A = this chain, B = another copy of it.
């Protein structure tokens, strides 16, 4: 992970500011021959797009993606495929309202990157958050769609990544009611349909009072082989932690038992093993699918805590760049709970990490999964 690049062999470099002409990314290291119609990428972007429910920002962005390179349709074959060369994806910014940016330019919004960016660079594109805007995450979702296509190609569709909110503010789901197949039916990708109903009122109320709510995202990847990951510093869980913590507003990351593992005893935390068809099976999954930094073949389970949106209508005390003390309210079309649109972003980051680890594993061992 360097400044704006993510991954080692499946490498994603993103660019673009919220109110510049365009955002985009370059995906390098993709295997050749992966079917990749533009519609696949567009469909992923549409899941994250603003304006899909009243619970997300009403900014109007089509988020129409152009594939500029790395994908080619040979007239003798059946649709566009990757060629192994870098895939550039471009999304023009269309909703750049002409307005006065003097306030946002001069006043540091609490919880935002304004002050930190100024401290680092001495100047910044202050329009709409610039580079630190959540708008950048559209590029991650586009790259994640490529990563998912790679995983489908490598594992014949066996790997499935699913995410949703399992808590909003202090309200957690009831694990006994979880049905992931219902997650797409509500605006929160919440796998507990009853909780999802409650959350509508909860979030309406927060928004009306000029406030916002945090959320907890859970991502599960099933169908993974044992063997992905690497010892010591390229650990699968370490890279997932870095990837998920790099999402805007993330403050905590858990694998399997997560923070709760600190409270357990060794006897309670052991994932005992039995002999199953086609290899060992586990009697529990406290580990969340990773041991010693390497996948075990169990479901990968990760969670990321997203702080409440910092852009709120309740006045907060702050200072200006010149040191003057003031108060600020952040008007505009903001997500009352950024965790919601964080779900496809977190799924995309997991897909990118897995595609990268699959290629790294293949490089070193010549296999895509466990030794036989």
Contact status B266-A246, CB under 8 Å = no
Contact status A121-B32, CB under 8 Å = yes
With a cutoff of 8 Å between Cβ atoms, the chain B residues found around residue A32 in the complex are 120-123, 364-365
Question: Which residue from chain B places its CB closest to the CB of A81 in the assembled complex?
Answer: B123
State whether the Cβ of A184 lies closer than 8 Å to any Cβ in chain B.
Answer: no
Interface 1/0 per residue, A13-25 and B, CB below 8 Å = 1111100111110
State whether the Cβ of A161 lies closer than 8 Å to any Cβ in chain B.
Answer: no
Instruction: Identify whether the interface residues of A are mostly helix, strand, loop, or mixed.
Output: mixed
- Interface range for A: 35 or more
Q: Within the complex, what minimum Cβ distance (angstroms) separates A119 from chain B?
A: 4
Interface 1/0 per residue, A112-127 and B, CB below 8 Å = 1101111111111100
> Which of B214, B215, B266, B310 is in CB contact (< 8 Å) with A212?
B266
With a cutoff of 8 Å between Cβ atoms, the chain B residues found around residue A272 in the complex are 110, 316-318
With a cutoff of 8 Å between Cβ atoms, the chain B residues found around residue A267 in the complex are 211, 312, 314, 316
- How many identical chains are in the complex? 4
What are 28 A-B contacts with C-beta separation under 8 Å? A14-B233, A15-B68, A15-B69, A24-B88, A85-B125, A85-B231, A108-B280, A110-B272, A113-B293, A119-B226, A119-B297, A131-B232, A167-B263, A169-B263, A206-B266, A212-B265, A212-B266, A214-B264, A232-B246, A241-B244, A252-B253, A254-B259, A266-B314, A267-B316, A270-B312, A274-B317, A275-B324, A366-B368
Contact status B251-A245, CB under 8 Å = no
Contact status A292-B15, CB under 8 Å = no
With a cutoff of 8 Å between Cβ atoms, the chain B residues found around residue A323 in the complex are 275, 279-280
State whether the Cβ of A63 lies closer than 8 Å to any Cβ in chain B.
Answer: no
> Which of B113, B211, B279, B359 is in CB contact (< 8 Å) with A364?
B359
> Which of B33, B297, B318 is in CB contact (< 8 Å) with A122?
B33
Chain A residues 175-195 with CB under 8 Å of chain B are none
Contact status B85-A310, CB under 8 Å = no
Q: Within the complex, what minimum Cβ distance (angstroms) separates A356 from chain B?
A: 10
Q: Within the complex, what minimum Cβ distance (angstroms) separates A249 from chain B?
A: 8
Q: Within the complex, what minimum Cβ distance (angstroms) separates A41 from chain B?
A: 15
Contact status B365-A363, CB under 8 Å = no
Contact status A308-B259, CB under 8 Å = no
Q: A246-B293, A266-B309 are in contact. Are A226 and B70 (CB under 8 A)?
A: no
